[in-house]
Homo-oligomer: A and B are copies of this chain.
Amino acid sequence: MIENPFYSYENHGPFEFYSLGDFKLEDGGVIPNCKLAFNTFGELNETKDNVIVIPTWFSGTSKDYEAYIGSDRALNPDKYFIIVINQIGNGISSSPHNSPDPISMSNFPNVRIADDVRAQHQLITEHLGINKIALVVGASMGAQQTYEWAVRYPHIVKRAAPIAGTAKNTPHDFLFTETLLEAITSDPGWNGGNYRSHTEVADGLKRHANIWAVMGLSTEFYKQEKWRLFGVESLDEFTNGFLQPLFQSMDPNNLISMGWKWQRGDVSRITDGNLEKALERIKAKVFVMPIDEDMFFPPRDCEAEQKLIPNSELRVINSICGHFALFGGEGEYYHNQIDTHLHELLES
C-alpha cells in the first residue's frame, strides 16, 4: 500500500464501495475483501429493467463518464438507473497501490477482463438485485468489458455498445501496449514495482505519456493543432503540461495491472479460443462503435468482429482526436454522435 493523492474521493468521487469478499481470479490469485467502487445516476424502476452498466477505461475512473450522462443525453438518469463501475486496478476499486499485504504493489495478482465482469455481475445481481440490463456501454477497456458482459451473460444483457475497443485484442494492440508498459518498467525507479513513491518512476511515466501522445490521437490532430480542444495554447503545453503530468500522477503498478489485462482481453476464452462461437453467444442487440481515426482499435478490426455478432450494426464515430476522442475533446460534436447511436439502440 502506498499513498497517492491522485486517487482521492475529491478527484474521482462521488462513488461508493461494494465488497465482493475474497474474490478468486481466473489466473489463480485471490483479492481478499475485493472492493468495487461504483457510482449511480437515476433510480431503479419497479420492474428493474431500466439499468445501464458502464465499465471504465484504462487509467480512467467513473468520473470520466460524467460528460456522457445527463437529462439531455441518451444516458439519461431521468429514465435510467445508470451504474458506472470502476475496473479493478484503476486506483479506485481494489488496486495494487491501495491493497494491503500480501497483495500490495508488485504482489497484486493478475486480473483479467473476465474477472472484472464477473465481479460486476456479482455487484449487479447480488448487491443490487438486478437481473436484466438494458444496455452495457463502455469505451476502450470499457468496450472490452462490454463485450465480455454480452458474451458471458447473454440472457442478462439486452443491448451493448462497445466504443473504440475489441472483443479480442489484436496482436498489434498487444505490441503497442507492451511499449506503454516497457516505458514504465525500464525506469530504474520502477525497481520491479517496489518504489516508495510513484514520483520515483516519473521518467518512465513521462515516456508512457509520450507514447500515448503518438498513438492516442491522430496525425491530423497535431497538424491542425487540435490540442486547442483540450484548452491548451501549444503542442508543448499539451504534452509537457497536460499528458505528462496526468500520467505522472498515477500509480505505475496500477497502470501495469490494467495494461496486462488490456493486452489479454479475449471473449473467446470461454469458447476454447473460438471467437466466432463466442460472439455467436451474444443475444444483445449490439452497436459496434469504433472511432475513424483510432490508431490501435481501428474500424476494420472492430468491423471484422461486428460481422460475427448476430444482431449487430457498425456505427463509426468520426473524430480527429482518434482514440482520445473518448475524453470528449470535441465536445458536443463527439457526444452528439454517441447520443444519436445510443438513442436509437435504446429505443430498439
Closest residue of chain B to A207 (Cβ to Cβ) is: B182
Given A179-B207, A179-B210, A207-B179, does the pair A218, B172 have CB atoms closer than 8 Å? yes
Q: How many residues of A contact B (CB 8 A)?
A: 35
User: Please, what's the 1-or-0 string for A158-188, where 1 marks a CB less than 8 Å from any CB in chain B?
Assistant: 0000000000001111011011001100111
Q: Are A203 and B186 in contact (CB under 8 A)?
A: yes
Distance (whole angstroms) from the CB of A322 to the closest CB of chain B: 10
Closest residue of chain B to A239 (Cβ to Cβ) is: B175
Asked whether A330 is an interface residue with its Cβ less than 8 Å from the other chain, the reply is no
Given A179-B214, A207-B182, A210-B179, does the pair A222, B172 have CB atoms closer than 8 Å? yes
Of A183, A219, A235, which is in contact with the most chain B CB atoms at under 10 Å from its CB?
A219
Query: Which B residues are CB-close (under 8 A) to A222?
Result: 170-172, 175
Given A187-B186, A210-B179, does the pair A296, B219 have CB atoms closer than 8 Å? yes
Instruction: Report how far A343 CA is from B306 CA in the complex, Å.
Output: 42
Given A220-B300, A296-B219, does the pair A211, B179 have CB atoms closer than 8 Å? yes
Q: List 26 A-B contacts (CB under 8 A).
A: A171-B235, A172-B214, A172-B217, A172-B218, A172-B221, A172-B223, A173-B219, A175-B213, A175-B222, A175-B239, A176-B214, A178-B210, A179-B179, A179-B207, A179-B210, A179-B211, A179-B214, A182-B207, A182-B210, A183-B207, A186-B186, A186-B204, A188-B188, A219-B300, A219-B301, A223-B301
**Ranked 8 nearest A-B pairs via Cβ:** A171-B222, A172-B219, A172-B222, A176-B214, A175-B214, A175-B213, A179-B211, A182-B207
